[in-house]
Amino acid sequence: MSTAIQSKPRETKTRSALSALRNEGYIPSVVYGYKTESTPIAVKERDLMSTLRETGRNGVIKLDVNGEQLNVVLSDYQEDALKGEIRHADFLAINMTEELEVDVTVNLVGESLGQKEGGVLQQPNHEVKIKVKPSDIPEAFDVDISGLQIGESITVGDIRAKSKFEIMNEDDFGLVVVSSPRSEDTDGDNLPDAESSPELVGGNQGDSDEN
């Protein structure tokens, strides 16, 4: 684990104070969780980004708060979509001996048989929620798609029994599907192919209130 990220107390929530912190290279943050009262803090952006490159998005971070080193994970953050900068960060203090629920990126492994035959690969959901001890959090959740043919799909229910992690999503939570390629209408008189394709459901995370 990397050297602890240093934090400093954050006394006020006024817009001008938050802007001043960001101008100084700090990220307004809050830490809460295991044996820790909700505490507003600020951390250097360069320190956090350097640590995340080393540990990964779900890695355990050492955070120094008022001289006490806490084991934390980055539970949530707000990002400036235009500048690509983190505007606010939430750190969750954790007990290293207890499991926690984390969202992990789904990594599709291999090339499906359906793709090789011209099928269209679709990934309705790009993350799964798993329950795991902090020291065992994976960088990604691998899903083998090499045997998937046109018209076939993989849901959480298909892989739950084979997974070494406890998956918290429902069985019908879709991970990947290979759809038939749409045939072009050559004479212009026929209606488009009526075969339906799975509806992709997506959502943008709303910004949480800054602390």
* Location of structure tokens 């004479």: 187
Q: At 77, which amino acid appears?
A: Y
Return the closest-CA partner of residue 118 out of 174, 175, 182: 182
Regarding the domain delimited by 101-179, which CATH topology (the fold level of the hierarchy) does it fall under? RNA Polymerase Alpha Subunit; Chain A, domain 2 (2.170.120)
pLDDT of residue 206: 44
pTM over 0.85: no
- List, in sequence order, the alpha helices (H) in the chain: 15-23, 45-55, 113-116, 156-159
The CB density around residue 152, as the number of other CB atoms within 10 Å, is 17
- On the question of a common fold for 5-96 and 101-179, the answer reads no
Running along the chain, 211 residues long, what does each successive block of 10 average in pLDDT? 83 83 94 95 95 90 95 92 88 96 95 94 97 93 96 97 96 96 52 43 45 49
Regarding the domain delimited by 5-96, which CATH topology (the fold level of the hierarchy) does it fall under? Ribosomal Protein L25; Chain P (2.40.240)
- CA 51 to chain CA centroid, nearest Å: 17
- CA 169 to chain CA centroid, nearest Å: 14
pLDDT of residue 2: 57
The domain limits of the chain are 5-96, 101-179
